[in-house]
Amino acid sequence: MSKLNEKVAFVTGGTRGMGRAIVERLAKEGATVAFTYLNSEQVAQQIVDEINQNGGKAFAIKADGSQKGAVGRAIEDTVSLFQKIDILVNNAALSVGGTIETSDERSHEYDRQIDVNIRSVTEAVRTAQKYMPDGGRIVNIASVGGIRIGGPGLSDYVATKAAISAYTRGLAWDLAPRQITVNSVEPGATDTDMLQKADEAVRQHYMNAIPLKRFAQPEEIAALVNFLVGDEAGYITGSSFTIDGGISA
C-alpha cells in the first residue's frame, strides 16, 4: 500500500523544478494532488495526464500568488472536489535579485516578491487549516539563504525566506493542539531550470562553496518533503531542514 493513500495534498507552484518533483512524488505515494501554476498551462496538463495515466490522481489550478485571494480560492476549489486538505506544501516563490543601489528601480518586483513569498504562504495556511483534519501536515519551502547568504544582491529575497522559517516555528505552536505538524525545508543550490540558465561563473561560484561538489536534484528535495508529510514524521514539528550539500556547515 502506498504511504499517502486517501490523503489530499495541495502544492503551490507545481510545474517546475522542485515543485514538479514534489507533486510527482506525492502522487506516486498515493496522494491525490492538486497544484497551482501561473503560466505553464500546457506543462500543468501534461503533469496531470501523466499522473492519471499511471494510476494516480492530480488536478491543476491556475493561480497567481501575487494576487490576494488567488491561492485561497484555489484551495477552496480543491476542497469542493475532494472535501479536505491533509497536506499543504508551500513551494511557489519568486526571486528578485539586485543591489541596494538599484532597489528603487525594481520596487514593483520587490513588492510582488513579498506577496508571493510571504503573503500567499500565510493565505494558504490560513485557508487550508480550516479544512485540514487533525494530524495534517504543512511543509514550507524556505531557503538556505535564510541562514547563509553567499553573495550580494539577495537581501530582499533571503529576508522573505527567513521570514518563512520563522513563520513555520510560530505555526508549529499554533497548530500543535490539533497534532498538525509544520516544518520548513531549506534547499541550497538545486539543479532546476533557473540554475541551468545561470551564467557559468555563477554556477561555478556555488559549486566551489559546496562540500559535496554537486547541485541538489529536485527529486532529493521531494524525498525530504515526502518524509515530512508521512506518518513516520509525526513527532517532528517547528523544525527547519537544511538540504544543501554542506554549504552551511
Q: Which residues contact 45 (CB under 8 A, 6 or more apart)?
A: 60
Residues β-bridged to residue 87: 9, 137
Residues β-bridged to residue 241: 185
User: Parallel, antiparallel, or unpaired for β 32-37 and 181-187?
Assistant: unpaired
The residue assigned the cell 500565510 is: 122
User: What whole-number distance in Å separates Cα of residue 25 and Cα of residue 190?
Assistant: 17
**Continuous segment of H or E residues that includes residue 186:** strand 181-187
In this structure, which long-range contacts are made by residues 40-44, counting pairs with CB atoms below 8 Å and at least 24 apart in sequence? 40/15, 40/16, 43/15, 43/16, 44/14, 44/15
User: What whole-number distance in Å separates Cα of residue 187 and Cα of residue 248?
Assistant: 11
CA 75 to chain centre: 15
Active site residue 157: yes
Joined grid coordinates for residue 95: 526571486
- Contact in structure between 131 and 85 (CB atoms under 8 Å): yes
Radius of gyration of the chain (CA): 17
Neighbour tally for 81: CB within 10 Å: 11
Q: Which of 157, 167, 206, 235 is catalytic?
A: 157
Catalytic residues: 157
